Structure 1
Amino acid sequence: MRVGLLTREYPPDVYGGAGVHVEFLARELASLVDLEVHCWGEGRGVGVVRHRSWSALDGANDALRTLSVDLSMAAALQGRELLHSHTWYAGLAGHVAGLLHGVPHVVTAHSLEPLRPWKAEQLGGGYALSGWAERTAVEAADAVIAVSGAMREDILGCYPALDPARVHVVHNGIDTRLYRPDPGTDALLRHGIDPTRPYVLFVGRITRQKGVPHLLRAVRDIDPGAQVVLCAGAPDTPGIDREFRELFEAVSRTRAGVFWIPRMLPRTEIVQLLSHAAVFVCPSVYEPLGIVNLEAMACGTPVVASRVGGIPEVVADGGTGLLVDVDEGFEEGLARALDSVLGDPAAARRMGEAGRVRAVGEFGWDAVARRTAALYEEILKGA
């Protein structure tokens, strides 16, 4: 079975959960199918073809540049028997290539443009184009993979013309060999974090979706003895960047031990930071699943997270962490939940241990790849 996997992000250019998903899915799929990855970037390697936007569009709206990459991908996919695209950035490539070469197209939806209206702030009129591209790809796809049950409901709610029988749930996964407790503390010391004091950890992009401003307002009211570590970069817009910086400076003036690491860290350092955190926090206001919560759980760390999207399918409330409703009292609820975990180390340890067991037992990438390859076979048999 010759499969073309289409994505914007692929190592070494991974900045979000969709990129993490594709990286590990591709690694496992390579032993099950004849796999060729098409992604953004320069150059070509074994099994990987990189595409860049047309130079004539340098400086144009990002959505237009994306469409040019999609056409480049579509032209390069001859000979593939099945196409599998990830996110709106590659969805139109799969759709057009499917029509051009007469092969099935599978879409994995990691998020949905209609549920991210704040992206208009980032893309301007390009947001209308990204929504059109996503709708076109999703509604025409031979199958749509949702990364959680909640995501499946969102897909059917946003695209009611879609046949529910074509929407399948295959959860995100985690490599529990890479993400496991690390006793070392050199990464903490390198960033000035005191390993003898508890700390709250956030890892993610500076976006409206990830809820970082909510977190910065919440941590003003938590135990003053706790440190706060923010591995936060890649702001979506100058506006959210300014808001983040102002809130960070305000928090830093009122409490000691607040750290901002504004760049992407190597995975080994992230694993060490996760392993030693007293609690990991995910304040997202929209999250189809949230791989980062699985990463924290695999490192034996309790999680405080929003009760949104697919997060409750990962974080067991009271078992592997605490869930907080996203409502008028969201920031107060975050502060209370964080203090609850910080104030009871024994309970935190039990939740962290349970999280590790859950991550290992239910979310391995080998199982994700097998379920995905089985869906490919089912589609090709029916084609």
Structure 2
Amino acid sequence: MISMHTSPLEQPGIGDAGGMNVYIRNVASHLASHGVQVDVFTRATRASQGEIVEVEPGFRVINCIAGPFEGLPKESLPTQLTAFTGSVIAFVRGEVAQRPDGPSGLCARTGAGVYDIIHTHYWLSGQVGWLLRDLWEVPMVHTAHTWAAVKNLGLADGDTPEPESRRICEQQIVDNADRVIVNTQEEADALIEAYDASPERLAIIAPGVDIERFTPGSDRATERARRELGIPLRAKVIAFIGRLQMLKGPHILLRAAAELIRRHPGQNIRVVICGGPSGTGLERPDDLHDLAASLGVSGYVRFLSPRPPEELVTVYQAADIIAVPSFNESFGLVALEAQASGTPVVATRVGGLPLTVAEGVSGVLVDGHDPEVWAHALEQLVLDDALRITMGAAAPAHAATYSWDATVEKMMAAYDRAFGDGTVETPVRIPHGIPMGLA
């Protein structure tokens, strides 16, 4: 796998790390549990990381040097595509030369020192994978996670459009990948419309959720979580979890919550914002604090730093409602984790969220981003305790229909179909006579 711009080991909610990191880590881990050897190549961002990180049996992360460790924004990473690709090639060549007969890096299908398949994540990685696919003649599967043409159709006010150069690069990937994996039928339709994608090469595979980690909490667990987070025990708590940028819509929640607090001062409404600045939010890291102050609700809002999954579950359990006011969301892992934790969701009707949230059963879907409309949607669950509790009780069953095991079984079937297209007939040797490849 290639995830050039962010490592699956990074903390989601910080910088460029988010749902994609959760996705890659879980897919790689579950592939490994199914007996698949997985190496994830990513760009090194700290000298202390080490070149090889053994995450678990069958799953390694390879940190490749390409540009300075720190201070290189995602927008500048295209300048390092050649360096990154060269680093990947050098690593694999070294692996094969050092252990030509060892188990690591051996192709299960040929027994040669090559990987079976390339699976790229995000368009930067897709460009790298496209080159290596043609160099090593192995199939390439691509998961974009977000698409420039789709994002630009639903920009938040103040957001910067994705450049045309990215859309062109994505078009090249769509044209050359053996399989493109999408989360939903809506995403597939968007690719066919915006990128003239071939329907035969699209595979619709929904992500999963860790239902063993994200579970409903007891009343006692909720009280303990609120104490730990400094939230009043008897408050009505609306939480936002994710990267703090305009695209994710946390400002919409603050404006809607301010209206709710004005309408219902006796409801003791509190808002929790859990995440770190990302994207355009990096340019204005104090914007949400300033907005809360200007709305007069600073005393009702608690800002929390990003948390690892084992701690994040307590935020889900401490909340009465999880708000997902995104302007674009290819699937919506936060909404799925919230429901698995027994917390109903109020989300925008965009992207994969209508699939992720069972409308009227485990949550409410909102059309658009008008704070007044959002205030009304949140008001339903804030005031109607019985409805909120009923939705929370139904939410885990809906979330349980999505599992990482099911995702990975469909992923492996997509890999098999890529092989079945006849992309690879015999192992390929590159200069110096060393069998090479990448997965």
Whole-angstrom CA distance in 2 between matches of 1:175 and 1:245:
32
Corresponding residue for residue 191 of structure 1: 229
Q: Which runs of 5+ in 1 are unaligned?
A: none
TM-score, scaled relative to structure 2? 0.78
Whole-angstrom CA distance in 2 between matches of 1:337 and 1:154:
28
Note the 1:160-239 alignment, pairs <5 A.
160=196, 162-183=197-218, 184=221, 185-222=223-260, 223-224=264-265, 225-237=268-280, 238-239=282-283
CA RMSD of aligned residues (A): 2.5
Alpha-carbon shift at residue 245 of structure 1 (Å): 3.2
C-alpha distance 285-139 of structure 1, shift in aligned 2 (>3 A) = same
* Correspondent of 1:142 among 156, 178, 183: 178
Corresponding residue for residue 304 of structure 1: 346
Corresponding residue for residue 62 of structure 1: 76
Corresponding residue for residue 11 of structure 1: 9
SS at match of 2:217: coil
Whole-angstrom CA distance in 2 between matches of 1:163 and 1:76:
34
Corresponding residue for residue 45 of structure 1: 53
SS at match of 2:242: strand
SS at match of 1:115: helix
C-alpha distance 66-313 of structure 1, shift in aligned 2 (>3 A) = farther
Alpha-carbon shift at residue 80 of structure 1 (Å): 1.3
SS at match of 2:255: helix
Corresponding residue for residue 349 of structure 1: 389
Whole-angstrom CA distance in 2 between matches of 1:140 and 1:75:
24
C-alpha distance 276-243 of structure 1, shift in aligned 2 (>3 A) = closer
Alpha-carbon shift at residue 53 of structure 1 (Å): 2.3
C-alpha distance 240-189 of structure 1, shift in aligned 2 (>3 A) = same
Encode CA deviations 1:278-297: one digit per residue, 9 max, x unaligned: 11100001111110000000
Alpha-carbon shift at residue 20 of structure 1 (Å): 0.6
Residue 258, structure 1, aligned to residue 301, structure 2: yes
Alpha-carbon shift at residue 255 of structure 1 (Å): 6.4
Based on CA coordinates, which of the two structures has the bigger radius of gyration?
Answer: 2
C-alpha distance 153-365 of structure 1, shift in aligned 2 (>3 A) = same
Residue 84, structure 1, aligned to residue 119, structure 2: yes
Aligned length: 372
Encode CA deviations 1:291-324: one digit per residue, 9 max, x unaligned: 0000000000010000011100111111110000
Corresponding residue for residue 377 of structure 1: 416
Corresponding residue for residue 310 of structure 2: 268
Q: Which runs of 5+ in 2 are unaligned?
A: 55-59, 94-113, 423-439
Corresponding residue for residue 111 of structure 1: 146
Is this contact kept in 2: 1:63–1:123, CA < 8 A? no
The structure with higher relative contact order (CA 8 Å, sep 6+) is 2
Whole-angstrom CA distance in 1 between matches of 2:225 and 2:66:
37
Encode CA deviations 1:317-362: one digit per residue, 9 max, x unaligned: 11110000016xx2111111111001111111111121100111x1
SS at match of 1:233: coil
